[in-house]
Amino acid sequence: MYKDLEQISSKSFVRSYKRNNILYVKISGKMDLVDNAQIANECAHIAKNDGPWIGIADLCEMTGFNSKGTDVWREVFGPITKNISSVYIATTSVTTRMVTQAWGLFVKKKINAFNTMPELVAEAKTHNLYLPEDIILLRTLPTRPNAR
């Protein structure tokens, strides 16, 4: 699953928790066009099977992105629109929130945005959203060896 993502230079990754139907994306560092394409394609690959999925994105450590990279997401809107039931993001960046909310319009989903992962986890618990232990405990998940 992570073979293609090993080429990503930032500490970003996609992880699926099939038991909970959670698609978890962590983006750290700057998201460039290559990284964006690989993350988008990995999300689409996971989301097209065994849905509905709940999308969770931790963008708190993202230091910027190339906005031209958002075009790649258009290719994956089909699986995301069909098989992701709800989306939760954590980010302190106003720009990222604005881009993500606009993205939500394309996929016809409400984007639930929070400033931190602890806030996201606390809110998820009040909605009976069953998160994997890795996310609840805010564990630092392993990143690829070539991560910056």
Instruction: Give pLDDT tens digits for 52-111.
Output: 888 888 888 887 766 665 566 666 767 777 788 888 888 888 877 777 776 666 667 778
Please report whether residue 124 resides in a domain.
yes
Averaged pLDDT, 123-129? 75
Q: Is residue 37 part of a domain?
A: yes
Peptide bond into 142 cis (omega under 30): no
- Binned at pLDDT 50, 70 and 90, residue 146 comes out as very low
Whichever domain contains 130, its CATH number is 3.30.750.24
Answer yes or no: is pLDDT of 3 > 60.
no
Judge whether 113 lies within some domain: yes
* Mean pLDDT, residues 18-30 taken together: 85
Count CB atoms within 10 A of the CB of residue 107: 18
Q: Would you say residue 103 lies in a domain? A: yes
Q: How many domains does the chain have?
A: 1
Whether 145 maps to a domain, the answer reads: no
**Domain range enclosing 74:** 4-136
Q: Say if 148 falls within a structural domain.
A: no
Residue 9, domain member (yes or no): yes
Report the pLDDT value the prediction gives residue 8, as an integer from 0 to 100: 42
**3-state DSSP call for residue 102?**
helix
Report pLDDT for 4: 44
Phi, psi dihedral angles at 66 (to 5 degrees): -90, 110
Rg (CA), the chain: 14
